[in-house]
Chains A and B, each alone.
Chain A
Amino acid sequence: GESVGLHLPTLSVQEGDNSIINCAYSNSASDYFIWYKQESGKGPQFIIDIRSNMDKRQGQRVTVLLNKTVKHLSLQIAATQPGDSAVYFCAEGPIKAAGNKLTFGGGTRVLVKP
């Protein structure tokens, strides 16, 4: 079936360095992608999203890159801070799908070392 997956289950990064979290998707019909951050004991928090008609989108300290050719999505966090320690999930969803169902990949845990 269609799936969304992450390459690295755990990413350790030094405070101040940049982080890159990768995600592969398999549904070529997906045209909406989103990254969530989930801290311990909390619900997922929206970080940034991107539509398939774009290949890059920037937010505050975060950038999402979309490569439709290889079905790859990445999240870049600039100058990683201790508050960035969390589990990050990517998700995909066809815009026109009933109920806008999102398919989530397995999370990547980011650990920021002081």
Chain B
Amino acid sequence: EADIYQTPRYLVIGTGKKITLECSQTMGHDKMYWYQQDPGMELHLIHYSYGVNSTEKGDLSSESTVSRIRTEHFPLTLESARPSHTSQYLCASRTGGTDTQYFGPGTRLTVL
């Protein structure tokens, strides 16, 4: 069982609000990822990080931003949430010595 945590698990907010989704892992993994997933659909990579102070955009264009100031922490921020941002956001991490990504429980975001 991987030690990767996401908060909040569920979030319902109004349009225009700024939100930050938290992701933390206690495994010392240097590589971290954010995916967006609609119910029952495939996962789409929106951001990833090789390590501290490293962030890259993923395959799916996203209006969100990320930061990586500490190894264990990889927060995702939406400056102005819109209904189109309603989705599940999954965080994952891996160590450089393996290709297996371990996922957190996800944050289900609903923007009204």
Say whether A and B bind each other.
yes
Chain A residues contacting B92 (CB-CB under 8 Å) are: 43
Stretch at the interface among A14-22, A58-66, A72-80, A104-112: A104-112
Nearest B residue (CB) for A33: B99
Please encode chain B, from 12 to 32, with 1 for each CB lying within 8 Å of some chain A CB and 0 for all others.
000000000000000000010
Chain B residues contacting A46 (CB-CB under 8 Å) are: 2, 100-102
A49-B100, A95-B99, A109-B40 are contacts. A102–B45 as well, Cβ < 8 Å?
yes
Chain A residues contacting B48 (CB-CB under 8 Å) are: 99, 101
9 contacts between A and B (CB under 8 A): A36-B103, A44-B103, A95-B99, A99-B56, A100-B31, A101-B48, A102-B45, A104-B42, A109-B40
| Interface positions of A (Cβ within 8 A of B) | 4, 32, 34, 36, 41-46, 49, 87, 89, 91, 93, 95, 98-107, 109
Q: Which 7 A-B pairs have the closest CB atoms?
A: A43-B103, A104-B42, A104-B43, A99-B48, A44-B103, A43-B106, A43-B105
